[in-house]
């Protein structure tokens, strides 16, 4: 039996029953990492094998404790894990100096019994949905190693798809765990904003675009990790408690497609996602072709204003570092300079548009239970590109315009589940976003569990 092919919930059952030990799982994990990771470059700053085995032995000696007991996990290299460097993919940070403490999410995962073995690769500062950086190089898609794995949680998604780990943490501002899940045939949940707390430092009120969340190979495993990550932090003002899932029922699912032509799509993307939507119909759910009734350009202007403002607040202190501007990638400089140039009224106008979209979304959820969109507007592109300059004959005017389709959920903090939608003509995966009302996270995961059982293609492993 290959332990690395098992899902996290199955492994947890086996570990609790002593059918498998943490040391056996750790040995299998390292065998797999040593065989596969040199090709895909998903896990970075990996703990030496002997140290990982010592941690597994300590867990074994202590006995079963926690929802993630004995599970090897690598943390996305935007978050801090004690004893590991945090490079954020930037040459401005050391890739060798270990952090002195865990972020709150990592604290919770360790307390649940997880064993941290390394970090997962990410773009520089998480900017751009393509995992490559000047510190560790590109992460490659296991379905075709000449292609991108998306980002910024590309390393996490590839580690899952390649069967190196069974659970991974991701983060999502602009599709950062939805796009890589879609492009690797895995699952990712962007939680409702406030469900999974960030670090209690700096401003806690103004910025509500990004969140941490779970990634896995099944929705059941997403629910397992979310149960550990989620829960309010009393030091932060926007925390929410997620209610349990409601009893299963037939749902009305609103298909938004390409937003009435506002989002250019590469050939085959819509057809692939429609096949997944039709599968939901075969499961008994009602599918409704829905008009969003909201100006995509107004939403985009709101998004890039609020995003640049938030990103600039994080990057601005780095300008004091020697040669900082020479070391920042163009996308980071673009965000930094835009954010610093904004007035308070610019931000206010953007937030008014955000509020208008929030109210329109409430009207849509009065008509349907779920909104559905593709996870990306194009197929995985060449790993040597920085970003696609054109989609379906339409020029992409920014480094992230090709990911505009993830903005509707991100702008107003809605939960969004990325599920595999199948494969295109080139054999590459695509994903479907299932977006629910605020705090419907566990309802989405229940839908995802049923979908996973029905979707045979979601059980396929890459040829790597």
Give the DSSP per-residue string, 428-447: -EEEEEEE-STT-HHHHHHH
In a domain, 217, yes or no: yes
pLDDT at 65: 85
pLDDT at 408: 98
Residue 245 clears pLDDT 90, i.e. is over it = yes
Of the candidates 91, 103, 295, 327, the residue with the CA atom closest to the CA atom of residue 199: 103
- Considering the chain, what is the average pLDDT of its residues? 97
In a domain, 153, yes or no: yes
What is the Cα–Cα distance from 98 to 85, expressed in whole angstroms?
A: 4
Strands 416-423 and 187-190: antiparallel
User: At CA 79, angle to CA 78 and CA 81, rounded to 5?
Assistant: 135
> What's the structural domain count of the chain?
1
Segment 107-129 mean pLDDT: 98
Can you read off the two tokens belonging to residue 244?
A: 């349990």
Residue 1 clears pLDDT 90, i.e. is over it = no
Residue 40 clears pLDDT 90, i.e. is over it = yes
pLDDT at 69: 98
Q: What 8-state DSSP symbol labels residue 54?
A: H
Strand partners, 82: 99
Q: Kindly write down the DSSP assignment for every residue of 204-230, as one continuous string.
A: SSS--S-EEEEEESSHHHHHHHHHHH-
Q: What 8-state DSSP symbol labels residue 126?
A: G
Can you read off the two tokens belonging to residue 173?
A: 């501002």
Residue 102 is part of a domain; what is its CATH number? 3.90.1300.10
Q: Are 24 and 59 in contact (CB under 8 A)?
A: no
pLDDT at 320: 87
Instruction: For 120, list phi and psi in degrees, rounded to 5.
Output: -110, 145
pLDDT at 31: 98
Segment 247-275 mean pLDDT: 98
Which stretches does DSSP call E strand in 247-378? Answer: 252-255, 286-289, 370-374
Residue 214 clears pLDDT 90, i.e. is over it = yes
Q: Kindly write down the DSSP assignment for every residue of 344-406, as one continuous string.
A: HHHHHHHHHHHHHHHHHHHHHHHH-SEEEEES-SS---BTT-SS-SEETTEE--STTGGGGGG
User: At CA 307, angle to CA 161 and CA 319, rounded to 5?
Assistant: 100
Contacts with 301 (C-beta within 8 Å, 6 or more apart), sequence order: 350, 353
Segment 407-415 mean pLDDT: 98
In a domain, 423, yes or no: yes
Residue 127: how many other CB atoms lie within 10 Å: 29
pLDDT at 333: 97
Going from the C-alpha of 70 to that of each of 111, 157, 167, 410, the distances in angstroms are 11, 20, 12, 33
Contacts with 80 (C-beta within 8 Å, 6 or more apart), sequence order: 86, 99, 101, 102, 103, 106
Confidence of residue 212 (pLDDT cuts 50, 70, 90): very high
Expressed as residue numbers, the domain containing 392 is: 3-296+350-459
What is the Cα–Cα distance from 303 to 326, expressed in whole angstroms?
A: 27
Q: Are 429 and 422 in contact (CB under 8 A)?
A: yes
Confidence of residue 378 (pLDDT cuts 50, 70, 90): very high
pLDDT at 456: 97
What percent of the chain lies above the pLDDT cut of 90?
97
In a domain, 339, yes or no: no
Residue 88 clears pLDDT 90, i.e. is over it = yes
Confidence of residue 393 (pLDDT cuts 50, 70, 90): very high
**Burial class of residue 284, CB neighbours in 10 A (0-12, 13-18, 19+):** exposed
pLDDT at 167: 98
Confidence of residue 134 (pLDDT cuts 50, 70, 90): very high
Confidence of residue 137 (pLDDT cuts 50, 70, 90): very high
Residue 64 clears pLDDT 90, i.e. is over it = no
pLDDT at 464: 83
pLDDT at 205: 95
pLDDT at 15: 97
Confidence of residue 98 (pLDDT cuts 50, 70, 90): very high
3-state secondary structure of 419: strand
Across 246-263, b (16+ Cβ under 10 Å) vs e yields eeeeebebbbbbbbeebb
In a domain, 332, yes or no: no
Instruction: For 190, list phi and psi in degrees, rounded to 5.
Output: -80, 110
């Amino acid at each position: 039996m290959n332990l690395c092919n098992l899902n996290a919930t199955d492994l947890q059952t086996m570990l609790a029953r002593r059918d498998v030990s943490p040391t056996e799982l750790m040995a299998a994990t390292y065998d797999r990492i040593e065989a596969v990771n040199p090709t895909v470059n998903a896990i970075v700053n990996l703990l030496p094998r002997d140290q990982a085995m010592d941690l597994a032995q300590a867990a074994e000696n202590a006995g079963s404790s926690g929802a993630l007991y004995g599970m090897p996990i690598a943390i996305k290299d935007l978050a801090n894990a004690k004893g590991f460097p945090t490079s954020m993919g930037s040459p401005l940070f050391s890739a060798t100096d270990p952090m002195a403490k865990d972020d709150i999410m990592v604290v919770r995962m360790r307390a649940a019994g997880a064993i941290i073995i390394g970090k997962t690769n990410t773009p520089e500062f998480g900017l751009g949905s393509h995992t490559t950086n000047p510190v560790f190089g590109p992460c490659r898609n296991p379905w075709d190693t000449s292609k991108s794995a998306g980002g910024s949680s590309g390393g996490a998604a590839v580690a899952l798809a390649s069967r190196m780990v069974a659970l991974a943490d991701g983060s999502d501002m602009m599709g950062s765990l939805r796009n890589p899940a879609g492009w690797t045939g895995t699952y990712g949940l962007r939680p409702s904003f406030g469900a999974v707390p960030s670090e209690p430092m700096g401003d806690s009120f103004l910025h509500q675009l990004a969140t941490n969340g779970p990634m896995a190979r099944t929705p059941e495993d997403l629910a397992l990790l979310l149960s550990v990550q989620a829960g309010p932090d009393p030091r932060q003002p926007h925390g929410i408690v997620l209610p349990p899932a409601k009893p299963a029922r037939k749902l009305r699912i609103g298909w938004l497609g390409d937003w009435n032509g506002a989002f250019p799509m590469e050939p085959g993307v819509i057809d692939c996602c429609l096949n997944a939507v039709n599968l939901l119909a075969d499961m008994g759910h009602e599918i409704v072709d829905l008009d969003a009734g909201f100006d995509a350009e107004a939403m985009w202007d709101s998004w890039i204003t609020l995003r640049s403002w938030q990103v600039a607040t994080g990057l601005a202190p780095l300008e004091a570092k020697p040669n900082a501007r020479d070391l920042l990638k163009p996308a980071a400089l673009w965000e930094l300079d835009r954010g610093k140039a904004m007035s308070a009224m610019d931000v206010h106008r953007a937030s008014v548009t955000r509020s208008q979209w929030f109210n329109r979304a409430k009207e849509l959820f009065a008509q349907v239970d779920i909104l559905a969109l593709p996870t990306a507007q194009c197929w995985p592109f060449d790993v040597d590109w920085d970003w696609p300059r054109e989609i379906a004959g339409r020029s992409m005017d920014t480094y992230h315009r090709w990911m505009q389709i993830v903005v509707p959920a991100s702008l107003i903090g809605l939960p969004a589940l990325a599920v595999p939608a199948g494969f295109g003509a080139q054999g590459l995966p695509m994903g479907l976003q299932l977006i629910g009302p605020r705090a419907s996270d566990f309802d989405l995961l229940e839908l995802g569990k049923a979908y996973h059982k029905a979707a045979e293609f979601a059980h396929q492993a890459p040829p790597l």
